[in-house]
A and B are shown apart, each in its own frame.
Chain A
Amino acid sequence: MEFFVAQIITGLANASSLFLVACGLSLIFGVTRIVNFAHGSLYMLGAYIGYTFMQVLPGGLGFWSSILLAGLSVGVIGVLVEMLVLRPVYKAPELFQLVATFGVILVIQDIALIVFGPEDLLGPRAPGLRGVIRVMGEPIPKYDITLLVITPIVALTLWYLITQTRVGVLVRAATQDREMVSALGVNQAWLFTGVFGLGSALAGLGGALQLPKGGADLLMDFHILAPVFVVVVIGGMGSLPGAYLAAVIISVLNVFAVTYLPQSTLVLMFIVMIVVLTIRPYGLFGREEVAGEHGQVGEPERPIKPASARMQLLASGLILLLAMMPFYTASFSLVFTTDVLIFCLFAASLHFLLGLGGLVSFGHAAYYGGGAYVAALLVTHVNTPMELAFLLAPLGAGIAALAIGWVCLRLTGVYFAMLTLAFAQLLWSLVFQWGEVTGGDDGLVNIWPSEWLKPTIIYYYLTLLFCVGGILLLRHIAHSPFGYALRAARDSQRQAESTGIDTRKIQLLAFGFAGFMGGLAGALFVFSKGSVFPNELEIARSFDALIVVFLGGVKTLAGGVAGGVFFKGIEDILIKFEYWRLVMGLLIIFVVILAPEGIVGSLRKGAERLNLIKSRHM
């Protein structure tokens, strides 16, 4: 019993930072509909800034004012980010802002490295709160007890702010209906800025408060991200009590898991998330999203048309140019182009889902990495000939996508996106954990193509064939009856249903097909590199594709491919410089602001404005 109580207290103390960071994220999403990927970076900044203040401000007063100052500073940083980076892109398609927040992550990573140095910082102790007190004989650190008190105070303050004050009323109103609030004369821009600042300040506070239990390091931004998203989603996006309850559930369950199932630490929270979302699709306290809120903000999508004869000619010329590459460039250029082509196919497969299906998947790496692993596992464990493994890989990924899609498609919008992320993470943890079969993070090595495919040139042609073929197929399907049905389901599910389209079946098939093509890219990847590691299933890999698709332009057919080429090309050049992440981040932000419809979309618009091409408005 004593042990049980001690465990619960530990769990509640752990919930503290998690709750603060999560409720900030939830608040921001609730009002602005921005999925702020940079929230982990704000948390990291809170830790570093708090640490810095604590070095100069002495004593207990200094310690606690440092924490408040860290929260305030990060709040100010949040306000700046909102005004400089996000405000210009509110009109852009929904979720486009997340690309901007990804740029912010990169920028903050390098700035933190420059300002605070590469070494981990050990968090200072809270003065007077060192050591333990005994609760029923079990030792509990005093600071844990302090956290137990602070968190409900912050939560109650927030609750008061939201439910009892005028600002709170406006925030809640904006959460429900943004347009109505601005129609009633509320300055929506400042409301957004304020909420973003508040959410950021909470993240900063969370970062500074955990200092006595840990410290500050440069990897903490990504490490907090997954748990925070899980908490927000389980609680219900936009719900503060939900975030609190979810943070407590996750933290307490984790403490018990550590004791009774020590191996489960990686998978636990994703399983909880999947279970919760299966029973309550919008989280514990979340509300169903208002229909039409997603995918259709900004300019309406243009109907797509097959390429004109001139374009087809140009595209053929380009493919010919690629096909001739071995005759005019060196071997390494082929290796690089192989990488780019594979990435483009991966991006195009996500673009198919996102652009045509309106299904935002945050976990597309599951199929890319999944395909790679299917091939690698077949080769490693059952000595499958490479050719067969190569063909089975996309099939495996496609089947996985069908299964995952079947569960996820019960949800829509951001909940759908988050559930796909959870499944991708679940797959990642399985691969990471199940070392006997998958090699864990030491991966599977020596997965090489058959002798006849080994030469760089031959493999290049194989990649070219499958990638160009795959991309053309994806494009072709957009113009097929299936593509039309898919777009109909995206634009208006009800109308599509009434014309006899089984939208769920169509979307599920699209999900499976996108997974299949992602798996094909993964299979090409694994045989070109000779090895595969869980990195290929990570959140970061899913983000890569997501960013490329948005950057290229969701509402254009070529967006995924153009974004892929742009991103890979720039990356290859920038990475040779010391602070390439900073430059890359700024560049992404710059592109986002300058070309809110993506590269392809904005180029097209620019060309129309200059009358270089004729406008295709219906």
Chain B
Amino acid sequence: MKHKSIIKALTAAVLIMSAPLAVVAQDTIKIGEINHYKRMAAFAGPYKNGIELAIEEVNASGGVLGKPLEFIFRDDQGKPGEAVKIAEELMTREGTVMLTGTILSNVGLAISSFAGEKGYVYLASEPLADSIVWSAGNPYTFRLRASTFMQAAMLAEAAAKTDAKKFATIAPNYAYGKDAVAAFKKNLLKLKPDVEFVAEQWPGVFKIDAGAEVQALERAKPDAIYNVTFGPDLAKFVREGGDRGLFDGRQVYGLLSGEPEYLDPLGAEAPEGWTVTGYPWYDLPSGPGADFVTTYQSRWDDYPRIGSLVGYMTVQSIVAALNRAGSTETEAIRSAFEDLPVNTPVGDIIFRASDHQSTMGAYVGSTTLRDGKGVMINWEYKNGADYLPSDEEVAKMRPSK
């Protein structure tokens, strides 16, 4: 009798699959947004709020190309294979005109490869992996946020200005960590060839054995430490390192460590005096940056995270591209993105035609405690354009085609 139940189950599946196509109402322009809303809720939530705020603003002022803008949000559970399936569903069944989203680099790379193959435009909003626009780049994929390489280069520049000679690194043992260390080394050695790297620690991502890592770093007696750990690993590292005096008298450079997503959970135990990249939303001078913070706070009754800013800028970039394209045809959107200028809360950015990376930069400053909370002071906004390789260099890195 086994067959009967297979049949039942399969019939049910066939019924589900052959459900009539959702009637696509053509009165809105739809964008497919794929993200890990559940798996990375703390990051995806503020990001989504940023998107929704921007959509409301766009639609209040007449939409785009005369139609309201609409985002279709879908959860991929952080699984690349699932994301590819959803991408296909969004483009063929839901009638979206392009794709955006993802925080995790591997999911971003999966969608990017798929988009390149099928000829769908994909704006990788948050994933940081350098390969998305370089070694695995393709004509249909663009990236908004400042990449690992750019942010590491900013920190390397700051590190080169000090007299520290011996550096130790600690980075999660996976692609992002390795890229971040490689980029930091490359840029620092270029600026200061006599620098020496005395220890490299590679804890498993979210599996750090902080006590042991701190002991190992201490043993190498470095002048300065470059930290790439984040999330719960960062909390443990900061705590053990602080207790055991690892940071005393040493310069520490922390990639992303100043972003509210990572700094705020540390509360009063946030490290002081680290040089970090981040987002000092609390101190922005009046102008577009501060205006965004005000609007965001009154809309959501919460302060913006870096994700909120990226979400907001994602919509701005897409709207700019659609307006420039004057149509929702893939090819028109694709070419509109090349050398596309966008006016954003961080200033004017451009999506470079050479490697499809935007010139969105990052804030670099040092950390301190204020009202029992870690904040960035003495920060400066660094324009991403200054930290990107030249057009000739990226042409060599991108696959020829």
Contacts and interface: CB of A to CB of B under 8 A. Distances in A.
A530 interface: yes
B33 to A, nearest CB: 14
A613 B178 CA distance: 61
Contacts of A573: 16
Nearest to A559: B2
Contacts of B216: 258-259, 262
A471 to B, nearest CB: 10
A10 B109 contact: no
A469 interface: no
Interface string B170-199: 000111101000000000000000000001
B209 interface: yes
Interface string A505-549: 000000000000000000001000111010110000000000000
B79 A535 contact: yes
B218 to A, nearest CB: 8
Task: Tell me whether chain B's interface is mostly helix, strand or loop, or mixed.
Answer: helix
Interface stretch (A196-204, A357-365, A481-489, A598-606): A598-606
Contact of A315 (B3, B81, B245, B269): B3
Given A118-B45, A214-B235, A258-B212, A266 B204 contact: yes
A271 interface: no
Interface in A549-580: 556-558, 561-562, 565-566, 568-569, 572-573, 575-576, 580
Greatest chain A CB density within 10 A among B41, B88, B105 is at: B88
A130 interface: yes
Contact of B175 (A122, A311, A330, A442): A442
A432 B172 CA distance: 12
Interface string A1-29: 00100110011011000000000000000
B77 interface: yes
Interface stretch (A57-65, A75-83, A217-225, A292-300): A217-225
B140 interface: no
B173 A219 contact: no
A7 B5 CA distance: 58
A535 B80 contact: yes
Interface stretch (B111-119, B336-344, B361-369): B111-119
Nearest to B220: A259
A256 to B, nearest CB: 8
Contact of A565 (B10, B78, B175, B178): B10
A565 B9 contact: yes
B373 to A, nearest CB: 12
B6 interface: yes
B110 A557 contact: no
Interface residues of A, number: 98
A192 to B, nearest CB: 32
B173 A263 contact: yes
A52 interface: no
Interface in B24-60: 38-39, 41-42, 45
B181 to A, nearest CB: 12
B215 to A, nearest CB: 6
* Count class of interface residues, chain B: 35 or more
A491 interface: no
A132 interface: yes
B267 interface: yes
Nearest to B262: A120
Nearest to A454: B117
B391 interface: no
A172 B62 CA distance: 74
Nearest to B243: A141
B202 A262 contact: yes
Interface string B244-270: 110000000000000000001111010
A425 to B, nearest CB: 12
A247 to B, nearest CB: 13
B122 to A, nearest CB: 13
A171 B79 CA distance: 42
A326 B45 CA distance: 38
A557 B13 contact: no
Contact of B178 (A13, A251, A435): A435
A265 B202 contact: yes
A101 interface: no
Greatest chain B CB density within 10 A among A266, A325, A440, A441 is at: A441
B136 interface: yes
Interface stretch (A153-161, A162-170, A336-344, A390-398): A336-344
A469 B350 CA distance: 52
A432 B174 CA distance: 7
Nearest to A130: B243
A563 to B, nearest CB: 8
A113 B45 CA distance: 12
Contacts of B105: 441-442
A480 interface: no
B396 interface: no
B107 to A, nearest CB: 8
B335 to A, nearest CB: 22
A307 B7 CA distance: 13
Given A336-B17, A604-B5, A448 B117 contact: yes
A122 B235 contact: yes
Contacts of A113: 38, 41
A581 B38 contact: yes
A558 B3 contact: yes
B215 A255 contact: yes
Contacts of A440: 174-175, 178
B243 A569 contact: no
A335 B13 contact: no
B203 interface: yes
Contact of B265 (A121, A263, A329): A121
A442 B131 contact: yes
B106 interface: yes
Interface string B207-219: 1011111011001
Contact of B6 (A3, A223, A254, A558): A558
A254 to B, nearest CB: 6
B7 A315 contact: yes
A445 interface: yes
B286 interface: no
A262 B200 contact: yes
Contacts of A446: 113, 116-117, 136
A318 B109 contact: no
B38 A307 contact: no
A140 to B, nearest CB: 8
Contact of B18 (A262, A307, A328, A562): A328
Contact of A219 (B5, B75, B175, B206): B206
B93 interface: yes
B211 A314 contact: no
Contact of A215 (B18, B176, B244, B265): B265
Contact of A332 (B88, B215, B265, B269): B88
A214 B236 contact: yes
Interface string B118-154: 0000000000010100001000000000000000000
A443 interface: yes
A443 B215 contact: no
A322 interface: yes
Of all A-B residue pairs in the complex, the 6 with the closest CB atoms, nearest first, are: A118-B41, A311-B3, A558-B2, A445-B113, A258-B212, A255-B212
13 contacts: A144-B211, A219-B232, A311-B2, A314-B3, A328-B18, A329-B18, A435-B175, A443-B109, A445-B110, A529-B84, A531-B110, A607-B1, A608-B1
Given A215-B235, A439-B175, 9 more contacts: A325-B14, A329-B18, A330-B93, A336-B17, A440-B175, A442-B105, A445-B110, A565-B12, A604-B4
Interface of A: 3, 6-7, 10-11, 13-14, 113, 118-122, 130-132, 138-139, 141, 144, 213-215, 217-220, 223, 251, 254-255, 258-259, 262-263, 265-266, 307, 311-312, 314-315, 318, 321-322, 325, 328-333, 335-337, 339-340, 432-433, 435, 439-443, 445-446, 448, 525, 529-531, 533, 535-536, 556-558, 561-562, 565-566, 568-569, 572-573, 575-576, 580-581, 599-600, 603-604, 607-608, 613, 616
